[in-house]
A and B are shown apart, each in its own frame.
Chain A
Amino acid sequence: MSEKICGQNNNGGLTTVHVKDGKIIRVRPRQIDPDDFKPWKITARNGMTFSPPKRLTTDTYGLTEKQRVYSDDRILYPLKRVDFDPKGDRHPETRGKSKYVRISWDEALDIVGSEIKRMWDSYGREAVCSIRGEHCNWGNVNYRLSAFQRFINMIGTTHVVENPDSWEGWHWGATHTYGFYWRLGTIEFYDMLEESLKYTDMVVYWSSDPDAVLGCYSGQESAMWRRWLKEAGVKQVVIDPYYNFTCAHVADKWIAPRPGTDAAMILGMMYVWIKEDTYDKDYIAKRTIGFEEFKKYVVGESDGVPKTPEWAAEKCGVPARTIKAFAREWAAKKVQFWGSGFGGACRTAYGHEYARLAVLLQAMQGLGKPGVSMNGLAGSAPYNYDVIVPGYADPDGMIWLSRAARKQIFPTADQFIYRLKFAEAILNPPIDWRGEGYCTRSLDQQFVNFVYPAPGKSEVHMIYMYGSSFMSTFCNGNEWIKAFQHPKIESVVCQEVFWTNNTRFADVILPACTNFERNDISGFANAGGYVAHGDLPNNYRVACIQQKCIEPLGESKPDYEILALVSERLGLREEFTEGKSIEDWMKGIFDASDLPKYISWEEFNKKSHYVINVPDDYKPKPAMRWFYEGRPCDTPDPANPKKGTDKAHELGTYSGKIEFVSQSLLKHYPDDEERPPIPHYIPSWEGPESELAKKYPLQLITPHPRYSFHTNYDSHSPWLNEIPGHRITKDGYSYLPVSIHPSDALPRGIDNGDIVKVHNDRGGVLCVAKVTQRMRPGTVRTWSSVGRYDPIEPGKPGSIDRGGCMNILTDNRLQSKNASGFAPNSCLVEIRKWEV
C-alpha cells in the first residue's frame, strides 16, 4: 500500500494529486502552506480594503482530471487504419469511417518515418503539413509550442498557421485604432483591479463574461473581485444577448443588443455625447487624430445618415431611450470597459469595426484618465514583475528557442496554410489571404499577402496532426471532412492522447500520455509570450514542477519522447534531443529563469511549487495612465517596441495617437468599404438585415464554454455531462443545451427539455432546448468547441451531428476581405423539434 501526493498543473490551474497504489484517487486545488502567501491589499473608494485569501482556486473542469486521465476516450496503443496500406491502397475516402487495428510502436514509427522521407523524396519538405491544437497537457517542455515546434522547425513543414481566434476583431481592428499589435490587439491591462476599485464608478462588461471565461487559465481566482466591486459600490452593467454568468452574479443592469449590432449601439451613444457636448474635447485634441472627420460620419454629414439613438435602436433592438440613458450615465461617470479581447462581438462579420469603435468610445471619455479604462481577459491584480519565470510561449519556455538548448532551431517554413482556409487549400487551391495569423511584430504584418501553394512549392500530401479537434472548433466543419478524404492527402498521422473529432481521420495514430503521466515545469496560468503576463487574473503567481503521478497508461508515451522516436527514424534524434531527457530540459528552463535566486532545484522539486509574492513596496502603474498624462510608458508591457525610446509616450499606431481615422488602413486600404479608415457600422452578411433571415430568422451565438476548456475536457470527463449548464441528458444521450426564449419556443411547439435540431443550409446539430427568459428573443445560444463530433452518419459530410458541433452551422467566410479573422457569431439558424 503506497500513497504519494504530487503537484500538477493544466489549463484549469494547479492541482494536488493523491495517488494510491499507482492510481490517482483524488485531485484537489493545489494545497499550499498558507505561510507561503503574502496577500496584497487594495483600498477601495469607499474605504473598504480587499485582500485575497491564502489559497488558490482551480477551474471546475480542472478538477475532473481523474476521470480525464482514465477516460474511455484514451488511445492506449499505436493504431493503423485498416483500409490504409502504405505499400498498397490507401483508401483516403474512408477516413472518418474505417476501423483501426493495433500495431506495435516499431511498426507505427516505421510507417511514419518512411512516409515523411517519401514526402521529402517525392515532393519536398513542404509536402508534410503540420497542424496542432491542444491547449492542454501543460508543461513547458512537452507543450505544443515547445517540443512539437522544435520538431517541425527541424524537419521543415508547411505549417497550418492559427488565426487569433479569441481576439479577432481586436487583432484586425482595434490595433489600427490604438496599436497593441504585440498583444494581439488586447490593450495592456496592468493594475486594472485597483483602478476599478479605487477610481471607477461603473464597470461595463461588453460582450464579456469573466465569470465564465475566467481569464483563460486563471482558475476561479477573479470571481471574488466582481463581488468586491459590488461591495465597494461600483455599478456593474452587462451587455450581452444572453443574461450570462457574470450578469447573474453581479449585474445591476442587463442590456441585450442583437448579435453583430454592437457597433451601431456604440455609434448611437457617441451621437448623444456629440449632441449634448459630454465628451472629453481636451483629450481628443491632445491624444487622438481624425475626430472631426469621424464626427461627420456619426452626425450624418458624410453619408446622410445621422447615427441617432433611434437609428441605433432600429439596428440593435435596444430602445432608443435606453441607449440615451446609458450614454448619459457613461458620460457622467468614470467607466471601466471590460472586454478587450475575447467575447462574441469581436468574432462576428466586420467584428473589427465593433472593436475599433469600442476603443474610440472610451477615447471620447479620456481613456487613461483615473477611472476611465479598458480591461482585458479577467483583469489584473498586483504582480511581481521582477521575478522572470518563462511561460509556455516565452522564448526561454520553448525548447526550440530557450537558452536551455545548446542549439536553437528556428522556423524555416516558407509555405503556410491559413487554418481558417485549410479545407479550401486542399480542395480548391490556390488560396490567398492577408496576415500570417498572429501578427505581433507590426501593424503592417497584417497586410502581407500569402498564397498557397507558395511559388515553386509543392502542395501538401501528408498531414501530421499534434492533437487538434477542428471538426468541432472551426467553421464549416463539413468541409474539413472532405479535405481529409481527398486523395491528394496520401497519409495522415495523428499524435494524440484521446479520440477526438480529428483522430478518426488519421491513418496512423501515435498515443501520447497526459501531463499526469510525465514530469514537466510550468506556472499557474503562465502563458508567457502568448499573452504577456497572462497570469495577471490570478490572485497569486505560482511557478511549479508538474510531478509525474502515475506511469503512462497502456503504451502511451510523453509527447517529447514520441517526437524523439520519430526523429530517430529520420536520423535526427541527436539534433532533436541534444541527448537531453525531459528532466534535463526542465532543469535548463529553471536555470534560465530567476527561480534559482529564490529556491534550489532540489527544494523546488520536493515542494513542487514556489509562490512569487508581490513586494511590500509595490507601486501600481495603471494601464494607459502614462498615455493620458503624456509621459513615457511606465507599465511592464514587455513587447511594447516604443518603450525606452524617445517615442515612449506614443501608442503603437502610425501617428502614435488614438486614431479616429486609421492611418495604417488609410495607407494600405483607403478604399476598403468593409474595413474603412473611419470605422463604420456595417450590417452583417448573415444577420437580422440579411435576405437569409427570412428563411433562418434566429441568430445563433456560441461563446467559449464555461465547463470545459474547449474540446479538452468535454467528452473525456463525463461527470461534466451531469452539469445542466453544460449538457442535458435525454434518453441516455448528453446533448448541448440551446437557450431559447419562450416567445421563440412556443410558436415552434418546443418545450423545455425537447430534443431539437438547430439547422441551416450548412447542416444540422441536435441539442436539447432550454427555454429561458435569460435569452434575448430572436437569438439562441449554446457552447462552442465541444469535444465530441458524433455524426448520425459517420464519415458523411453533411450528416446531422449529435455531439454539439455548432461550428458545422457557421460560415468560414472571413470577417472582411482584407481582415482574416473568423466570424462564427454571424450565423442564422432555424430550430425545429426533432422527432426521433
Chain B
Amino acid sequence: MARYGIVVDVSRCIDCYACFIVCKDEHCGNDFSPIALSQPDKGHFWMKVIENERGEYPKVKANYIAVPCQQCENAPCVYYSENNAVYRRDDGIVIIDPVRAKGQKDIVKSCPYGLIYWNEAENIPQKCTFCAHLLDQGWKQPRCVETCPDGALTFGDLDDPNSEVSKLLASGKAESLHPEYGLNEKVKYIGLPKKFIAGTVVFGDNDECGEGVAVTLVGNGEKRTLKSDNFGDFEFDALSEAKEYTVNVEHPGYKTKKFDVRTDNDVYLGEIILKPAKSR
C-alpha cells in the first residue's frame, strides 16, 4: 500500500497557475462521489498559490508557494468533524465525505492553512483530494503534478525509498510550511523564502559602483563574508526571521560602515556610500 506525499520545490515555480486551473478543470462540473462532488467555478482554491514578495525597489524578490491540502497526519479537520465526515485513508489522503459532511460548516474553520472551502450550493465543505478518484483508477499522479511545466511538484510513495519524492525528502532540504502547527503534513517544501539583508555599495569619492567591497554579516550564531559585485550589490539570503544581525562594510581607503538590523522584514540597506578615509 503506497503512502502518498508531495514535495514542492519553490525555486521551480514560475507562477503559471496551471496547477490551480487543472484542478478546476478536473473538478468543476464533474461529480466524483464518493470522493468529491463538483467544485464551484468561483471562490475555491483547492490548490492555492501564494505570492511572496519581499524587499523594496529596486531590491526585490518574488516566490510562489503552491499549497494543496497538506494531508496532515494529525489533521484537525478529521478531529473536528462529526459523524466521521472527514477520514484519513490508508494511503494518507484525507477525504471529506460529500454525504456525511453535509451542513458541517465548522470543518472549514478547522483548517489552520485555510484550505477547506464551503460549497454553498451543495451545503458541504470541500478541499483538495490529491485527485484520489484518479489514483484509484490507476493514474500515476494528481492533475496538478501532471501539468506543472518544470517539476515544481513531485508526487509519490513516501514508503518507497527509490521514489523521487522520497529522494527529495532524504536530501534534508525539505521542511513543513508551518512547523509550528505540529500537523505532520505529507506536503513538504524545498526553497521556502526566508529573509535577506542586501545593499548597494557606492564609492563616495568618484560615484562609481562599489565593486569588490568586503561585507561581513554576524548574528544568530553565524558569520558570513562576501564581496559586493560589479554593481556594488551584495545579498545575504536564507536568514532567519526576527533576528538581529550586524553588517560591516569595509574597503581599503574608505571609512567602514556598520549597520545593526533586525529581520522582521527583508532588509534593503539602500545605497551605502563609502566616504574616503581621512588621509593623515
Contacts and interface: CB of A to CB of B under 8 A. Distances in A.
B53 A773 contact: yes
Given A63-B22, A723-B20, A772 B14 contact: no
Interface string A49-71: 00001000111100110110000
Given A254-B58, A718-B42, A774-B60, A220 B149 contact: yes
B147 interface: yes
Interface stretch (B105-113, B207-215, B218-226): B207-215
Nearest to A255: B58
B51 interface: yes
A325 B57 contact: no
A256 B150 contact: no
Interface in B136-186: 143, 146-147, 149-151
Interface stretch (A26-34, A107-115, A421-429, A761-769): A26-34
B228 to A, nearest CB: 11
Interface stretch (B81-89, B92-100, B121-129, B230-238): B230-238
Interface string A712-752: 00000011111111100100000000000100000000000
Interface in B228-279: 230-233
B33 interface: no
A773 B16 contact: no
Contacts of A606: none
Contact of A707 (B17, B26, B230): B17
A672 interface: no
B30 interface: yes
Band of interface residues on A: 35 or more
Given A223-B14, A253-B233, A321-B207, A777 B57 contact: yes
A248 interface: yes
A804 to B, nearest CB: 18
Interface centre among B17, B43, B55, B207 (most CB of A within 10 A): B17
Given A243-B60, A719-B21, A211 B231 contact: no
Interface in B1-50: 11-12, 14-18, 20-22, 24-26, 28-30, 41-43, 45
Contacts of A720: 21
A313 B64 CA distance: 33
Interface centre among B25, B149, B202, B233 (most CB of A within 10 A): B149
Nearest to A243: B60
A735 to B, nearest CB: 15
Contacts of B29: 25, 66
A67 B27 CA distance: 12
A322 B231 contact: yes
A256 B58 contact: yes
Contact of A254 (B42, B60, B64): B60
Nearest to A777: B57
Contacts of B232: 321, 325
Given A328-B230, A772-B53, A223 B20 contact: no
A27 B151 CA distance: 20
B16 A60 contact: yes
A326 interface: yes
A239 to B, nearest CB: 12
A721 B42 CA distance: 9
A322 B209 contact: yes
B57 A773 contact: yes
Given A64-B21, A774-B62, A220 B16 contact: yes
Interface string A325-342: 110110000000000000
Nearest to B268: A773
Contacts of B233: 253
A291 interface: no
B63 A719 contact: no
A357 interface: no
A329 B230 CA distance: 8
B149 A325 contact: no
A721 to B, nearest CB: 8
A205 B184 CA distance: 42
A324 interface: yes
B102 interface: no
Contacts of A99: none
Nearest to B24: A719
A17 B35 CA distance: 22
Contact of A28 (B12, B15, B146, B208): B146
Contact of A321 (B21, B53, B208): B208
A58 B15 CA distance: 14
Contacts of A398: none
Given A326-B231, A719-B24, A227 B15 contact: no
A271 to B, nearest CB: 15
B231 A224 contact: no
Contacts of B58: 254, 256, 776
A362 B24 CA distance: 46
Contacts of A563: none
A27 B41 CA distance: 16
Contact of B26 (A26, A29, A723): A26
Interface centre among A63, A67, A725, A729 (most CB of B within 10 A): A63
A31 B121 CA distance: 34
Given A707-B17, A719-B41, A28 B147 contact: yes
A777 B57 CA distance: 8
A609 B207 CA distance: 60
A775 B18 contact: no
A674 to B, nearest CB: 32
Contacts of A63: 18, 21-22, 25, 147
B61 interface: yes
B3 to A, nearest CB: 25
A220 B231 contact: no
Nearest to B27: A26
Given A248-B63, A249-B14, A320-B207, A325 B230 contact: yes
A219 interface: yes
Contact of A325 (B61, B147, B211): B211
20 contacts: A27-B25, A60-B16, A60-B18, A63-B21, A223-B14, A223-B16, A224-B150, A253-B233, A320-B207, A321-B202, A322-B209, A328-B230, A707-B17, A719-B41, A722-B45, A723-B20, A725-B51, A773-B55, A773-B56, A776-B58
Given A58-B18, A59-B18, A67-B24, 19 more contacts: A26-B25, A27-B25, A60-B17, A63-B22, A63-B147, A64-B21, A66-B25, A67-B28, A223-B16, A248-B64, A249-B15, A321-B232, A322-B209, A324-B209, A707-B17, A719-B28, A723-B21, A773-B55, A774-B53
Interface of B: 11-12, 14-18, 20-22, 24-26, 28-30, 41-43, 45, 51, 53, 55-58, 60-64, 143, 146-147, 149-151, 202, 207-209, 211, 230-233
Interface of A: 25-29, 53, 57-60, 63-64, 66-67, 211, 219-221, 223-224, 227, 243, 245, 248-249, 253-254, 256, 320-322, 324-326, 328-329, 707, 718-726, 729, 741, 772-777
Ranked 6 nearest A-B pairs via Cβ: A220-B149, A248-B62, A57-B149, A325-B209, A60-B18, A224-B150
